[in-house]
Amino acid sequence: MLLKRMADDGWFLLGDSAGVLDPSGSHGVLRAVMSARMAAQQALHGGSRAATAYHDWMCDWFAHDMAELRAAYREAGDFI
Ligand SMILES: Cc1cc2nc3c(=O)[nH]c(=O)nc-3n(C[C@H](O)[C@H](O)[C@H](O)COP(=O)(O)OP(=O)(O)OC[C@H]3O[C@@H](n4cnc5c(N)ncnc54)[C@H](O)[C@@H]3O)c2cc1C
């Protein structure tokens, strides 16, 4: 489950509050830590594009992890 908007003027959603994938992806804790780091960096240095840059970065990461999960489940399905 992903939020449609993960950041906007004055706010960022971090970790699981931005989106949750199957825990078997095993990136939930890393995403919680890295999203906080990225949000802080964007808040300090991102200027007017901070929210968009953060949102796009999170969406790219989720898209990558979803593709990996789909491939893993497809592969696992071949053995069931
Ligand atoms: C079964 C299972 C296995 C998992 N295995 C892995 C794994 O192997 N590797 C991995 O990386 N990730 C794993 N995850 C995912 C990982 O646990 C989460 O992605 C990660 O904990 C998200 O961190 P977070 O800080 O965003 O949220 P959380 O860890 O959920 O922290 C949010 C905190 O906010 C508190 N809170 C909520 N509402 C309020 C409120 N109104 N006021 C005050 N406090 C509030 C909650 O009590 C909680 O302590 C697993 C998840 C599950 C369910």
pLDDT confidence band for 80 (50 / 70 / 90) = low
Q: How far apart are CA 28 and CA 62, in angstroms?
A: 10
Q: How far is the CA of 20 from the centre of ligand 1 (A)?
A: 10
Confidence of residue 77 (pLDDT cuts 50, 70, 90): confident
| Predicted structure pTM score | 0.93
Identify the pLDDT of residue 23. 92
Closest ligand 1 atom to residue 35 Cα is 26
Q: How sure is the predictor about 64, in pLDDT bands with cuts at 50, 70 and 90?
A: very high
Q: Give the integer Cα–Cα distance in Å for 39 and 11.
A: 9
Domain residue spans of the chain: 31-80
SS3 content of the chain, % helix, strand, coil (to 5): 70, 10, 25
Relative to the CA of 30, which ligand 1 atom is closest?
11
pLDDT per position as a tens digit, 8-56? 999 999 999 999 999 999 999 999 999 999 999 999 999 999 999 999 9
